[in-house]
Amino acid sequence: MTKKYFGTDGIRGKVGSGMMSPDKVLKLGWAVGRVLASRAQEAGLNKRVVIGKDTRISGYMFESALEAGLSAAGVDVELLGPIPTPGIAYLARTLRASAGIVISASHNPYYDNGLKFFSPEGKKLDDELEHAIEAMFESEMEIVESAVLGKAYRVVDAQGRYIEACKASIPMHLRLNGLKLVLDCSNGATYDIAPKVFAELGADVISIGDKPDGLNINLECGSTHPEALIARVKAEGADLGIAFDGDGDRVLMIDHKGEVVDGDELIYIIAQSRQQQGVSIGGVVGTLMSNLGMELAIKSLGLEFARSKVGDRYVLELLNENNWQIGGESSGHIICLDRTTTGDGIISALQVLAHLVQHDISLADARAGMDKFPQVMINVPLQGNNNPMQASSVQQSVEQAEGRLNGRGRVLLRPSGTEPLIRVMVEGEDEALVSELASTIADAVRSAGQAA
């Protein structure tokens, strides 16, 4: 059954249009409150929802709208303020709330915003619950009696609680003393928390992208734009750099030579670390976009490897299905189920740093066990609601590319789950050939889209 409003990761869109207008968000808050209040009552849970946000300016507006809608449904609200998405998942669980709501559009620009939802266990909502919320949203809004309206509270120690949870994800005796780190907080939700976490563990911390003004979130900074971080790591002679996205659930790193270490490589390092500690993680989950070099490297560790559809919820589903512990995406969305319930940029970075410190090696050395295949991805904007992927010209270009790769590479076309784009990915041993084939397929997709 297709969902009308929920995408692969909650609801997202341009501020002021579609579901991301204050009146829609208010009613959505009411619908969430009605559904979750009913379930909470059945399960003996509190009728209480925690709300956190990133730093974009529209967060104030949507926070107030959600608060009003939840109150109208008779649900209390606990406001966390600016805090990374995984922090909200953690606090939903530890504060024994009936749900957690994140106001964020992740790596998107400030003029977009969105809503993500977490269960009382700190996990993404299942399809059944999202369908129930959509059905309630389309019903007539009925406000509870005044005597049972929800109340709102400010959680004053939310940041401190989450900081301690992050630090507790690595051994108590471990210190980062002697490590010089540059953090790029993307002018987002990690801007205040991440520097404190790493500094309190003993690292020499230099921060950039730590001055949010409501409009500069993800603007030429963070995990999607690592250029400034690369330059700063080199200029400071730092051991490495760490880049988060706007809501803090993704992380990429920069080694001391200024080279990007992506999510695939970080997952490999974490998996290797667990293996060397004698910790059983079962296997590793990547996605359809994960580099073939990652798959081969994981298997070389004696671990199983499986691919899910793109999206952290699908990674999590496959991890749970296989009873495995580690998985994620090349974008840096990494899930360590032996440490937390969802993708967490700070905690993932700490797992890598713990490995480097314990073995006294550099990030460049740690990544050396994985040889990445050249991979090119081109984003082709969609025009209207047409689907050029079904065009015969596109399918023919894919078949021709696969023939030229001759079994030593992959071609993948998929629509983005968060933006109106078709992502064209080609991977193989020959970088020049990979680039040529990706460009050819992207041109075919673009032409088919214009002709439709």
Question: In this structure, are residues 221 and 244 in contact, taking their beta carbons and an 8 Å threshold?
Answer: no
* φ/ψ (deg, to 5) at 41: -65, -40
Q: At what angle do helices 345-359 and 263-276 cross, to 10 degrees?
A: 50
* Spatial distance between the Cα atoms of 125 and 123, rounded to a whole number of angstroms: 6
* Spatial distance between the Cα atoms of 26 and 24, rounded to a whole number of angstroms: 5
Cross-strand bridge partners of residue 381: 421
* Spatial distance between the Cα atoms of 183 and 30, rounded to a whole number of angstroms: 38
Q: How would you list the strands of the sheet with 375-381, edge to edge?
A: 375-381, 421-428, 409-415
Question: In this structure, are residues 220 and 189 in contact, taking their beta carbons and an 8 Å threshold?
Answer: no
Task: At 399, list the tokens.
Answer: 């078949």
Cβ neighbours of residue 80 closer than 8 Å, sequence gap 6 or more: 50, 51, 52, 53, 87, 88, 91, 155, 158
* Spatial distance between the Cα atoms of 209 and 195, rounded to a whole number of angstroms: 11
Residue 191: CB atoms within 10 A of its CB come to: 24
DSSP letter (8 states) at residue 280 = -
> Would you state the torsion angle of the CA atoms of residues 268, 361, 348, 180, taken in this order, to the nearest 10 degrees?
-150
Which H/E stretch holds residue 377? Answer: strand 375-381
* Spatial distance between the Cα atoms of 345 and 85, rounded to a whole number of angstroms: 9
Task: At 132, list the tokens.
Answer: 């129930």
Question: In this structure, are residues 261 and 268 in contact, taking their beta carbons and an 8 Å threshold?
Answer: no
* Spatial distance between the Cα atoms of 447 and 424, rounded to a whole number of angstroms: 14
* Spatial distance between the Cα atoms of 141 and 159, rounded to a whole number of angstroms: 34
The catalytic residue among 58, 104, 106, 207 is 106
* Spatial distance between the Cα atoms of 410 and 289, rounded to a whole number of angstroms: 10
Q: How far apart, in Å, are the Cα atoms of 90 and each of 82, 101, 120, 341?
A: 14, 12, 9, 8
Is 106 annotated as catalytic? Answer: yes
Active site residues: 106
